[in-house]
Amino acid sequence: MHRSELTTPALVGDADAIDRNLDAMAKALPGHRLRPHIKAHKCTGLARKQAARGHTGFTCATIREMEGLAAAGLGEDLLLANEVLDARRLGALDARVTVAVDSEETIRAAADGGVREVLIDVNVGLPRCGCPPGQAGALADRARKAELEVRGVMGYEGHVMPIEDAGEREAATATAMELLKQAHEQVGGDVVSAGGTTNYALNHVATEIQAGSYVLMDRSYAFEELPFQAAIWIESSVISVAEKYAVVDAGLKSLALDHGNPEIDGAKVWFASDEHVTFAPESPVRVGDRVRVWARHVDPTVAKHERLHLVRGDDVVETLEIDLRGW
């Protein structure tokens, strides 16, 4: 298929750029130093490409992702880095399953659901899930009394990821990881799981890094020192042209705006609505022209699509199902 034959809006990826991103991370963090986060692409096809490069343990955000990877034969070591209150579906998986816990209730849910291994989730500065560092040891003791194996700790310094200056990002990472290190000293275990795409080389405490965005890459993370490039876009069609602006058939239902407006090369994006992006092109465009709309946050953008079309030049060389959507 030629790229021009795709019905727009379509999620399209540069096959060579994705391979380069995968190879760069495999070189930087070989084997179990990386536990790729599946939430970034929700695609077993891309997970297989990661596993082929030696990254065979995965991080997940949903039970659906855990089930899909296990069913695909990618269940060597799966971490649900999220709290759940009903773990029965997890306990039934033919896979090695570890679940994050940060309370007596989530510990009980893991034990009742048949899960055998957990990580103590620690709040390292991002106001999201995780117990205070000083409570990690007591929670680990409670988990062991519930006959759970405590593999170690995890924490996500997500508030650090958007910092553009690498020195400031490294310093903020160190501050967050000092909290996780203190918790690990109380908890024990072999695993200290943390980190992400923009600080994978700056986190000197974690035994494994949970980076995910690097595969497809956020435009909002386009920091100069990172070896990854934006590899996906929304292929769209110009459907209307006015004197000072034009409109394409992408919009809120095909891309995420939580990190800001999308980008169009050679144009200024004015705004996005349900099915439209309105932009001011630097050069004239015509109805029917194809335009690449770059989302600034890939994770929720990918989740809006059923499939990803990989292209090399103008040829569609592979189509991958986004088969881990949902919960």
pLDDT tens digit string along 168-187?
999 999 999 999 999 999 99
Residue 83 neighbours by CB distance under 10 Å: 19
Q: Kindly write down the DSSP assignment for every residue of 252-310, as one continuous string.
A: TTTS--TTS--B-TTEEEEEEETTEEEEEESS---TT-EEEEB-S-HHHHHTT-SEEEE
Residue 205 has φ and ψ, to the nearest 5°, of: -110, -40
Count of other CB atoms within 10 angstroms of residue 163:
17
Provide the pLDDT for residue 151. 98
Phi, psi angles (nearest 5°) of residue 269: -80, 130
Residues 46/231, Cβ–Cβ less than 8 Å = no
CB 233 within 8 A of CB 250: no
**Ordered strands of the 149-154 beta sheet:** 57-60, 77-80, 97-101, 117-121, 149-154, 191-194, 208-209
Write phi, then psi, for 76 (nearest 5 degrees): -60, -40
Span 277-286, average pLDDT: 97
Q: Give the confidence band of 94 by pLDDT, cuts at 50, 70, 90.
A: very high
pLDDT of residue 244: 97
What average pLDDT does the segment 75-79 reach? 98
Cross-strand pairs, 78: 58, 97
Q: d(Cα 165, Cα 224) in Å, to the nearest integer?
A: 10
Q: Does the pLDDT of residue 275 top 90, yes or no?
A: yes
Q: What is the pLDDT of residue 292?
A: 98
**Mean pLDDT of the region 123-140:** 98
The proportion of the chain whose per-residue pLDDT surpasses 70, expressed as a percent, equals 100
Q: CA 282, CA 250: separation in Å to the nearest integer?
A: 19
How far lies 248's CA from each of 113, 237, 293, 295, in Å?
Answer: 48, 5, 9, 14
Exposed e or buried b per residue across 165-181, where buried means at least 16 C-beta atoms within 10 angstroms of its C-beta: ebeebbebbbebbebbb
- Give residue 261's Cα distance to chain centre: 19
Residue 112 has pLDDT above 90, yes or no: yes
Q: Which residue has the tokens 């092109």?
A: 281
Q: What is the mean pLDDT of the chain?
A: 97
**Going from the N-terminus, what domains does the chain have, and what CATH number goes with each?**
3-11+229-321 (2.40.37.20), 15-218 (3.20.20.10)
Please state, in angstroms and rounded to a whole number, the distance separating the CA atoms of residues 232 and 41. 11
Element (H, E) at 154: strand 149-154
For residue 78, the model assigns a pLDDT of: 98
The amino acid present at 222, given as its one-letter code, is A
**222: pLDDT strictly greater than 90:** no
Alpha helices in 198-262 (DSSP H): none
Beta partners for residue 246, in sequence order: 241, 279
The reported pLDDT for the residue numbered 132 is: 98
Average the pLDDT over 305-314 and give the result. 97
With 90 as the cut, is the pLDDT of residue 309 above it?
yes
Residue 122 and residue 100 in contact, taking contact as beta carbons nearer than 8 Å: no
Secondary structure percentages of the chain, helix, strand, coil, to 5: 30, 25, 45
What does the alpha-carbon distance between residue 239 and residue 83 come to, in Å, rounded to a whole number?
44
pLDDT number for residue 61: 98
pLDDT for the residue 180: 98
Strands 267-273 and 307-312: unpaired
For the segment 124-143, the average pLDDT, to the nearest whole number, is 98
Output phi, psi for 34, to 5 deg.
-120, 135
